[in-house]
């Protein structure tokens, strides 16, 4: 077996630690005291990590064989759009709540980036016809 380069050890170590942590969390998921919203958020986060890990593996394989990776980047963009859609729906519901305290600065920043995103979306949608 060839030794791994030292710059890869932190990544490998962190992934092994994450695997161990996930295995421990699996036991907690069998309990009856789960908040459905937290569980949904956890599942969504796991899906994003799973999809990103798949894309990273595909990219590494294609890079090693000098194959085109354009479709992988498109896949990641589609996944970010999907995740953003779900996150925006959740934020929309949060904003309707009266018992949540928001920070003005964060809401202003969110408003600014969503305005810029909306303009960029309109531009791309118009180009698509």
Is 54 exposed, middle or buried (CB count within 10 Å of its CB: 0-12, 13-18, 19+)? middle
Residue 24 in any domain: the answer is no
Q: What is the CA radius of gyration of the chain?
A: 20
Number of domains comprising the chain = 1
Residue 103 in any domain: the answer is yes
Residue 18 in any domain: the answer is no
Answer yes or no: are the C-beta atoms of 55 and 75 closer than 8 Å: yes
Q: What is the pLDDT of residue 5?
A: 54
Q: What is the pLDDT of residues 15-30, one digit of tens each?
A: 889 888 888 888 888 8
Terminal CA-to-CA distance of the chain, rounded, Å?
Answer: 53
Question: Residue length, the chain?
Answer: 129
Q: Tokens 């896949």 belong to which residue?
A: 75
pLDDT for residue 79 is more than 50: yes
Residue 80: which domain range? 34-128
At residue 10 the predicted structure's pLDDT band, cuts being 50, 70 and 90, is: confident
Residue 17 in any domain: the answer is no
Q: What percent of the chain has pLDDT over 90?
A: 33
Residue 16 in any domain: the answer is no
Residue 26 in any domain: the answer is no
């Amino acid at each position: 077996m060839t030794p791994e380069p030292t710059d890869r050890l932190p990544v490998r170590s962190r992934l092994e630690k994450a695997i161990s942590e996930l295995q421990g969390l699996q036991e907690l998921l069998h309990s009856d005291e789960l908040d459905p919203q937290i569980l949904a958020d956890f599942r969504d986060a796991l899906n994003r990590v799973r999809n990103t890990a798949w894309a990273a593996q595909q990219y590494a394989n294609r890079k090693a064989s000098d194959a085109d990776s354009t479709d992988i980047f498109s896949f990641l963009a589609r996944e970010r759009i999907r995740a953003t859609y779900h996150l925006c729906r959740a934020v929309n519901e949060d904003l309707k709540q009266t018992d949540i305290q928001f920070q003005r600065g964060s809401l202003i920043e969110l408003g600014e980036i969503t305005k810029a995103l909306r303009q960029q979306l309109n531009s791309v949608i118009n180009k698509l016809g």
